[in-house]
Amino acid sequence: MSAADAPVAGLAVDPTAVLSVRGLRVSFGDHVVLERLDLDVAEHECVVLLGASGSGKSTLLRAVDLLEEVDDGVVALRGVDVTDPRVDADTVRARLGLVFQAYNLFDHLTLLDNLTLAPRLVHRRPRAEAEADAVAMLDRVGLAGREGAYPGQLSGGQQQRAAIARALLTGPDLLLLDEVTSALDPALVGEVLDILASVRATGTTMLVATHELGFARRVADRVCFLHAGRVWESGPPSIIDDPGTPELAAYLGG
Amino acid sequence: MTWEPSPVAVERAAFRAGRRRRSFAVAALSTLVLVAAAVLVVVTSPGWERTRDAFLDVDRGLEVLPALLEGLWLNLRVWVVTVVVSLVVGLLLAIVRTTASPVLFPLRALVAAYVDVFRGLPLLLVLLLVGFGLPSLRLPWLPGDGVYLGTLAIVLTYTAYTAEIFRAGINAVHPAQVTAARALGLTRAQTTRRVVVPQAVRNTTPALLNTVVSLQKDSGLISILGAVDAIRAAQIAVTGAYNFTPYVVAGLLFLLVSIPLTRAVDAYSERRGWGATRPAAGVAR
């Protein structure tokens, strides 16, 4: 039995969940962002993270994608502890999709090349095959015919849709979305959320950090409110309209 | 709330510490092997004995050390002067070149021509032309000494380089910064002085520090104009003695200055977050 699946008191993960986080602690210097955080995301589930700016939503997503060093706790994907330093982080990240607030498309590549970069380099797919999939995916997010465009030639909403397509193209076990509409003006938010709702409808497992309460009501299976470094309150989307803790009520009111 | 690391965290920390120890051991071993191989190749070479006598004569080295140190002192003085002048003048030229005022067009053209010429000429050629060309004009106020003319030649070349570095830095400042400054009511000149130039200087500091390091070595080129710097002093010591140890000593003296300097520059860059030693900044592993 390796250290990875050794049962540890208080840190026992849910092996059936796509993502299972136990006792997570992440700090930057003296500033503790996440502390003893527990969270599960089941197969085909869409979990929405709410919380004030600085509550650790982004840090949690980055920790799950192994972009942050964790002080303590376990992040398990399908029951396997990936925070173990013996686990190859690149292999783990290849199974996850992450979409950033600022799109992070590669400015020097066309949309087609942005989309096919990981399938070709990481997943070793033949170019023709990867490109055919990329064209189909761009069509799905409403960017048909824009394969040759560079990110700089697109609107923010179009760029974010392309970024979602890029994350989806590798068929991730879990799609992480980090405030993907925060950089967009209201007119463009709708088109991105519509795409996410359609992605949701295909059964993609999603963990979404957002401030869009309407989106949370519409697509979330479960809402988790982050406060004081942990999941303060969680439940069905109806808790948005009927908060069980004064902290969630304060967040929704403010 | 105090944090008591869980057994999992403790075990991971121990594993990482083990990894670090192993990395260190591997690094030490590979270094040792490489150095040993290099020493072996040199020492077993057929000409080793004669090379050692001609280049690594410790007694001769100590004998010439005072003269070389005196030469090095000249190098250091030339270095400081060239650094200060080429940084200050380079920045002024870069500012002139990035102005938009039509009145300054002739000045801009002049600066562009100057930069084109002196960036395109080999430093050695500039040294020879300045060192032997200017004195032939017999201008009474022009010092004919190799030290001054050599310094002038180095300054001419390096100012062209630093002007270009500064210009690139000024152009790289995001237009939104200028817009914000002008929106606050700052004049064009105030915007340049208080917003653009400070950011340009910060952005270009690594490149400029590189130039400073390279100036330290190139200060030795004034020796071709007869200035008795460390290199020239070594040349004089070699002449007639058929022992090349002074060159080696001069080289060591230059390294003695430039290695701590480059280390200091690296440490400074690292502290400011420009370090090249973190290939994947923002990604934990």
Residue B213 pLDDT greater than 60, yes or no: yes
Q: What is the mean pLDDT of residues A116-127?
A: 92
Mean pLDDT, residues B5-22: 92
Report whether pLDDT(B1) > 80.
no
Which of A 9-38 lie inside 8 A of B, CB atoms? 10-11, 23, 25, 32, 35
Mutate to test the interface with B, among A2, A27, A71, A104 (most CBs of B within 10 A): A71
Cβ burial of B172 (10 Å; 0-12, 13-18, 19+) is exposed
Summarised one tens digit per residue, pLDDT across range B37-88 is 999 999 999 989 888 888 888 888 898 899 999 999 999 999 999 999 999 9
Considering only alpha carbons, which residue of chain A is nearest residue B14?
A85
In a domain, B1, yes or no: no
Residues of chain A numbered 39-78 and touching chain B (CB < 8 Å): 66-69, 71-74
Mean pLDDT, rounded, for B87-102:
91
pLDDT the model gives residue B281: 52
Per-residue model confidence (pLDDT) at position B138: 83
**Rounded average pLDDT over B264-273:** 79
Nearest to B284 among A8, A66, A72 (CB): A66
Q: What is the 3-state secondary structure (H, E, C) of A72-89?
A: EEEEEECCEECCCCCCCH
Question: Percent of chain B, pLDDT > 90?
Answer: 53
Nearest CA in chain A to B17: A85
Query: Residue A214 CA to chain centroid, in angstroms?
Result: 18
pLDDT (0 to 100) of residue A10: 52
CA-to-CA dists, residue B21 to A2, A72, A85, B27, B278, angstroms: 22, 22, 15, 10, 20
Distance from CA of B6 to the nearest CA of A (A): 7
CA proximity to A173, closest of A3, A22, A43, A39: A43
Is B12 within 8 Å of A8 when comparing Cβ atoms?
A: no
Output the pLDDT for position A168: 94
State the best of A2, A5, A72 to mutate against chain B, taking most chain B CBs within 10 Å: A72
Mean pLDDT of B244-258: 91
**So what's the pLDDT on residue B279?**
44
Could you give the CA distance from residue B152 to residue A221 in angstroms, rounded to a whole number? 75
Residue B162 lies in a domain: yes
Q: What is the per-residue pLDDT across A3-44, written as a single tens digit (0 to 9) for each? A: 444 444 457 888 999 999 999 999 998 999 999 999 999 999
Structure tokens at A53: 């700016």
Q: What is the ipTM of this complex?
A: 0.74
- Check if the beta carbon of residue B123 is closer than 8 Å to that of residue B218: yes
Residue B242: pLDDT band (50, 70, 90) is confident
Spatial CB neighbours of A179, under 8 Å, sequence gap ≥ 6? A57, A58, A101, A209, A210, A211
Q: For tokens 């967040």, name the residue.
A: A251
pLDDT at B274 (0 to 100):
62
Q: Do B8 and A72 touch (CB under 8 A)?
A: yes
Q: How many CA atoms lie within 13 A of A231 on its CB side?
A: 20
Is residue A179 a contact partner of residue A57, using CB atoms and an 8 Å limit? yes
Domain assignment present for residue B9? The answer is: no
For residues B241 and B21, which has the higher predicted lDDT (pLDDT)? B21
Mean pLDDT check: name the lowest of A125-129, B113-117, B199-203.
B199-203
Give the model confidence (pLDDT) of A138-197 as tens digits: 999 999 999 999 999 999 999 999 999 999 999 999 999 999 998 888 888 888 999 999
Measure in Å the smallest separation between the Cα of B178 and chain A Cα atoms.
Answer: 21
Q: How confident is the model at residue A205 (pLDDT cuts 50, 70, 90)?
A: very high
Query: Among all chains, which residue has been given the structure tokens 């944090």?
Result: B3
Q: How many residues does chain A have?
A: 254
**Residue A47 pLDDT > 70:** yes
How far is residue A219's CA from residue A203's CA, in Å, rounded to a whole number? 11
Q: Report residue B280 as tokens.
A: 């994947």
The strand pair at A222-227 and A46-50 is best described as parallel
Q: Is A83's CB within 8 Å of B12's CB?
A: yes
Q: Which of A11, A32, A86 sits opposite B15 (nearest CB)?
A: A86
Which residues in chain A are closer than 8 Å to B282, comparing Cβ atoms? 67
Q: How many CB atoms lie within 10 A of CB B140?
A: 4
Q: With beta carbons less than 8 A apart as the criterion, state whether B19 and A85 touch.
A: yes
Q: Verify whether the Cβ–Cβ distance B6 to A10 is below 8 Å.
A: yes
| pLDDT value for A99 | 94
Comparing A1-5, A234-238, B113-117, B248-252, which segment has the lowest mean pLDDT?
A1-5
- Per-residue confidence (pLDDT) for residue B143, from 0 to 100: 80
Within-domain flag for B75: yes
Structural domain that includes position B119: 56-271
Asked if A74 lies within 8 A of B8 by C-beta distance, the reply is yes
Is B7 near chain A, with CB under 8 Å? yes
* Exposure string over B230-253, b if 16+ CB within 10 A, otherwise e: bbbbbbbbbeeeebbbbbbbbeeb
Q: What is the CA radius of gyration of chain B?
A: 26
Q: Do B9 and A73 touch (CB under 8 A)?
A: yes
Which residue carries 């870069």 as its tokens?
Answer: B94
Percent of residues, chain B, with pLDDT higher than 70: 96
Q: What's the length of chain B?
A: 285
User: What is the share, in percent, of chain A residues with pLDDT greater than 70?
Assistant: 96
| Beta carbons of B246 and B61 less than 8 angstroms apart | yes
Residue B173 lies in a domain: yes
Find tokens 């405030």 and name the residue. Answer: A179
User: Across all residues in chain B, what is the average pLDDT?
Assistant: 89
**Pairwise CA distance, residues B39 & B81, whole Å:** 40
CB atoms within 10 A of CB A54: 11
DSSP H/E element including A225:
strand A222-227
Q: Count the domains in chain B.
A: 1
Q: Which residues neighbour B129 within 8 Å (Cβ) at sequence distance 6 or greater?
A: B153
Of B17-26, B28-37, B153-162, B215-224, the one with minimum mean pLDDT is B215-224
Specify if B3 maps to a domain: no
β-bridge pairing A174-178 and A222-227: unpaired
From residue B20, give the alpha-carbon distance in Å to each of B17, B24, B25, B27: 5, 6, 9, 10
CATH of the domain at B164: 1.10.3720.10
Question: What is the reported pLDDT for A254?
Answer: 62
Interface with A, mutate which of B8, B21, B23, B278 (most A CBs under 10 A):
B8
Sheet of A80-81: strands edge to edge?
A: A31-41, A19-28, A72-77, A80-81
**What are the C-alpha distances in Å from A206 to residues A70, A79, A212, B65?**
22, 17, 15, 72
B133-138 average pLDDT score:
86
